[in-house]
Amino acid sequence: MAMIQQVREYLKVFGYVLSDHICKTLILYHIVCPAKYRQKIFTERVELSLQNICIEIGKRYEIHFMEIGSDEDHVHFLVQSVPVMSPSRVVQIYRKENIQTSSGGQEIALGR
């Protein structure tokens, strides 16, 4: 229930609605990605890297990362996307882009 209230407050402040010529939609996905084997890998440096990756993803796809938060062993995304893109497709795009853009060939290992 608290998550719904937070989303409502967020929308009042920012008023994010994806608009098409025919209709307006508001679809938000709350995605939680644990680290592989629940390793404690999410430091501030890694979180900044995640934010940069998400900004780049937003430029290429119709995905808007509204909030990104992390704990030591998992990361939360509040994502807005178009209705034709499923949540699994959003995660698939993120995982693909994360592997491609990680420096030195080391990916940030997210579990399934």
Q: Where are the alpha helices (DSSP H) in the chain?
A: 2-14, 44-60, 87-101
Domain regions of the chain by residue span? 2-105
- What CATH superfamily is the domain 2-105? Transposase IS200-like (3.30.70.1290)
Give the strand order in the sheet containing 63-70. Answer: 28-34, 74-81, 63-70
Q: What is the 3-state secondary structure (H, E, C) of 81-108?
A: ECCCCCHHHHHHHHHHHHHHHCHHHCCC
The pLDDT of residue 102 is 56
Q: Tell me the two tokens of residue 58.
A: 């937003």
Per-residue pLDDT of the chain (112 residues; tens, 9 = 90+): 566 666 666 665 555 555 555 666 778 899 998 888 888 888 888 888 888 989 999 889 888 898 988 888 898 999 988 888 888 998 898 888 877 665 444 445 555 4
Residue with token string 């592989």:
36
